[in-house]
Amino acid sequence: MRIVQTEVSDTEHALLTEYARAHKTTIKEAVRQAIRRLAIRDEVDSKDPIFVAFPVARKKGRHSDASERVDFYLYGWEKA
């Protein structure tokens, strides 16, 4: 685990303290939550190629039940 230090104004510290108290957590945990919210994007980019690339396959495969009988088609035996 890494240690991160920073300087905040008296006002920022008071706001942070009040936030932590209101949410029944520590200042340390409140700052960690803020970092996670800032650093981790929790949204989908609709222009991302993975969402516009479908359909990947143009035609159907030989086996319409391939996902259900994968063991049989790969190894020649039914899954137990």
Residue ranges of the domains in the chain? Answer: 8-44
Q: How high is the pLDDT of residue 23?
A: 96
pLDDT, position 77: 75
Q: Give the model confidence (pLDDT) of 9-65 as tens digits.
A: 999 999 999 999 999 999 999 999 999 988 887 788 878 887 777 666 666 777 778
- The tens digit of pLDDT for each residue in 24-33 reads 999 999 999 9
Dist CA 21 CA 27 (whole Å): 8
DSSP designation for 40 = S
Q: How confident is the model at residue 80 (pLDDT cuts 50, 70, 90)?
A: low
Question: At 79, is the pLDDT very low, low, confident or very high (cuts 50, 70, 90)?
Answer: low
Residue type, 80: A
